[in-house]
Structure 1
């Protein structure tokens, strides 16, 4: 019989012995991998760019992770941790590396505030909207204020860059830039003059309104910039409240000391 064959019995015995050794080694490895020494107790933060992190701190990272992750050095799901950390207010992106035997290295790219967005959010230097505590921004008074419908952030940043390029030669800066639901623009300059512009036919977002008759954004601003030096001489120091650029030729001026508007036909 097969069970009386010494070679078969030896093979079975060898297999069982090997299996027993593997089970013991597996149990020992499992126990070793779950020793307290491998619990994550150290988190090192490094900036992906620059020398320091301006907004992200160990305390804010710990607050984000508390109660939301499970595992130790061996079992921790780094992709899960990365997703959780991406919800931290100032974290734009994070790369995670394990540090033997109980640590994590977080290389963090922070949101860099570029502008204020509507009433609660900010825009970073990538033109992305994010939510964070505005009170943590040291130079918040120097940031421009943007307004616009959801999804229009990149367009507003693009138009702001165009305005900066056109207005710099005449020493004007943008304090506020707003895009309304009909895709018309309002610009508040640092001299407190408001520029009212028509619909933007070059908007990159879907415009449900007929763009017929809408003037190019760049052409409208260029017309204002070219007329500005002569306009300064013409108004003779009177404070201007608003300039309406929605005309195909010229524009209308509202003075701060008058309810009447003057229309200029300057090109």
Structure 2
């Protein structure tokens, strides 16, 4: 009982201190006054900063556009782009959302990446990585180009400089990176012939063929469904192994090669217009 009575007595003292007027406790009054004064000073400072940030001096007036290191901007009209940015960007030096400006630039034709940063007191600097056209996508009349990273972007052949030879690519819209990978492989394969890939087509079924700079067409078919991922490389190696025999028999008359056969390859003669299945890897190997 003594414990209960002491607890109730302590609780009564606390309640009495809380219920009594605050001015009866000078120390608490001083602490509260200091706290309220700090809050007031903080609110005044915040208000001043907000007022200053909305002054006309901080309204965006300058947009500097520069290329990334190692590039020059060939397809971007700086004055036009600057004017578009100043007309569309919302906010001032403090409130502008740099990510929105970045997305706006990257939605423009010929802009691959953009990096935006503030410049005191009312400017922006935009570093632009311009698209490097590497090939057409869907033919020369298409308004889609492929860059050196295997990415598609909106552009026309007429916008590309005369000194750039574009590769002709065809394929499904979502397969541009795969097309670039196949191009790099095929280009490396035919280096011994001093030939380069000028055209690559990937069908909806992912069968593919190329046309080389020497005018020859090479049909690879599709090999992604096979468990042996080196199947195409093996067939190309077989072609190079027996190619001297083909040249000896039909020198400079072959205009197409079909590598879709399991044990050999077929050639097409330009002059005769006939398909020859006579170059069989296994048979040739047996003759030697």
User: What is aligned with 1:252?
Assistant: 266
Residues 146 and 178, structure 1, Cα contact 8 Å, conserved in 2: yes
How many angstroms does 1:143 deviate by? 2.0
Distance 1:215 1:20 in 2: 75
User: What is aligned with 1:219?
Assistant: 234
Distance 1:68 1:133 in 2: 26
Q: CA 1:214 to 1:74, structure 2 compared with 1: closer, same or farther past 3 Å? A: closer
Q: Which has the higher contact order (CA 8 A, sep 6+)?
A: 1
Q: Deviations over 1:69-93 (max 9, x none)?
A: 2011111011111122221222222
Q: CA 1:223 to 1:57, structure 2 compared with 1: closer, same or farther past 3 Å? A: farther
How many angstroms does 1:31 deviate by? 3.6
User: What is aligned with 2:167?
Assistant: 144
User: What is aligned with 2:223?
Assistant: 200
Indicate whether 1:158 and 2:172 are aligned.
Answer: no
Q: Deviations over 1:53-111 (max 9, x none)?
A: 33334245336636532011111011111122221222222221111111111122222
1:124 to 113, 125, 147: 147
Indicate whether 1:261 and 2:253 are aligned.
Answer: no
Q: CA 1:17 to 1:215, structure 2 compared with 1: closer, same or farther past 3 Å? A: closer
Residues 145 and 177, structure 1, Cα contact 8 Å, conserved in 2: yes
Who wins on radius of gyration, i.e. which is larger? Answer: 2
User: What is aligned with 1:37?
Assistant: 57
Q: Deviations over 1:173-212 (max 9, x none)?
A: 11101110111111111122211222122xxxxxxxx648
User: What is aligned with 1:91?
Assistant: 111
Indicate whether 1:134 and 2:149 are aligned.
Answer: no
**Larger displacement relative to structure 2 (53-62 or 23-32):** 23-32
TM-score under structure 2 length normalisation: 0.74
Distance 2:271 2:258 in 1: 17
Indicate whether 1:233 and 2:254 are aligned.
Answer: no
1:68 to 88, 96, 99: 88
TM-score under structure 1 length normalisation: 0.79
Q: CA 1:45 to 1:227, structure 2 compared with 1: closer, same or farther past 3 Å? A: farther
Residues 71 and 129, structure 2, Cα contact 8 Å, conserved in 1: no
Distance 2:158 2:80 in 1: 15
Secondary structure of residue in 2 paired with 1:232: helix
**Larger displacement relative to structure 2 (139-148 or 80-89):** 139-148
User: What is aligned with 2:66?
Assistant: 46
Q: CA 1:116 to 1:217, structure 2 compared with 1: closer, same or farther past 3 Å? A: farther
**Larger displacement relative to structure 2 (72-81 or 57-66):** 57-66
